[in-house]
Amino acid sequence: MDKIDRNILDLLQTNAGLSTAELAEAVGLSTTPCWRRIQRLEQEGIIMSRVALLNREKLNLGIDVFVAVKTNQHNLEWLAEFSRRVGEFREVVEFYRMAGESDYLLRVVVPDIPAFDSFYKKLVQTADLADVSSNFAMEQIKYTTALPLQYASGDKLR
């Protein structure tokens, strides 16, 4: 991975709708070498997907809830089943296994409190949970899907 690859990635994660010609011009390549680089980055799994980011407010999905889950179950079978069940909830947009106070952290996106309450009731029925606590985001101060590419190196990415 070189500087041109990082520039291509930076441009794509800001606007995946750029044409190959636009990308090539922006990074100082002709179209074919730029296209080959993009293909290689996709084949290597560095570019995983190209998506459209949607306006949550216009879709009535303005509430973020961070749900911390604690459990007394710490075996692989339980984790696999819990992960499968949580993965079925469309409201869960991020799901992490944690070190520290909580065992799992979920970011849930819903339109309102009644929708979250409905989600919560279904969540607590999915598995044996010791504690579930929810924190509602009051304001989104920063949000990005762009990764900090200054740390990317070819050695780690292959």
Q: Is the pLDDT of residue 157 over 80?
A: no
Co-location of 69 and 88 in the same domain:
yes
Q: Is the pLDDT of residue 46 over 90?
A: yes
pLDDT in tens, 53-87: 999 999 999 999 999 999 999 999 999 999 999 99
Query: Is residue 32 in some structural domain?
Result: yes
Strands 92-97 and 131-136: unpaired
**pTM of structure:** 0.86
pLDDT band of residue 155 (cuts 50, 70, 90) is low
Q: Which of 33, 52, 71 is the last residue of a domain?
A: 52
**Phi, then psi, of 19 in degrees rounded to 5:** -75, 165
Co-location of 48 and 61 in the same domain:
no
Q: Is the pLDDT of residue 31 over 80?
A: yes
Query: Is residue 152 in some structural domain?
Result: no
The percentage of residues in the chain with a pLDDT greater than 90, rounded to a whole number, is 92
Co-location of 43 and 67 in the same domain:
no
What's residue 158's pLDDT? 42
Query: Is residue 29 in some structural domain?
Result: yes
Co-location of 21 and 84 in the same domain:
no
Query: Is residue 148 in some structural domain?
Result: no
Residues 90, 111: Cα–Cα separation, whole Å: 13
Domain range for 35 is: 3-52
